[in-house]
Amino acid sequence: MPTKVSKVVERALRHLKVVAAGQSVSAADMADGVEALNDMLAAMSETLDFEHTTLKATDDFPHPDSLLQGTGYLLAVQLTDTFNQPLTLTIAKKADQGSALFASKYFSLPNTSHDATLTSMIAHRRYF
């Protein structure tokens, strides 16, 4: 079963200890989290190879499950100022790993061509 956007936001808020285990996320906190998630994914889509459409809390998270944990930590970093929470070393490290996972999934090099002249020049150069 797909993971809902609300679950990603809830995980981020738990990482920051804004929401305790067994506690529900308030509607206002959820709205702040979804807005931050949309902003974050929109910014990432400008440099990575995926399309972003605005998500609602009830939507399915549109990325592979392998990116869920990292996304929660990336979002936690985005929410530290909003919720006046410190950025811990653990959150920062796991967010960095999440960023690397996103890049490995969605980074692609643009189409390039090979200039044979450059290779030919190097191959025929003689060193004494």
3-state DSSP assignment of residue 4: strand
Range of the domain at 76: 5-124
pLDDT for 107: 82
pLDDT for 16: 97
pTM of this prediction?
Answer: 0.82
3-state DSSP assignment of residue 77: helix
pLDDT for 118: 62
CA distance linking residue 53 with residue 13, whole number of Å:
22
Question: Number of structural domains, the chain?
Answer: 1
CATH of the domain at 34: 1.10.3230.20
CA distance linking residue 95 with residue 28, whole number of Å:
24
Supply the DSSP string of 44-94, one letter for each residue: HHHHSS-------TTSBP-S-GGGHHHHHHHHHHHHTTTTT----HHHHHH
Taking the chain (128 residues) in runs of 10, the rounded mean pLDDT of each run is 94 96 94 98 92 96 94 97 97 96 83 67 56
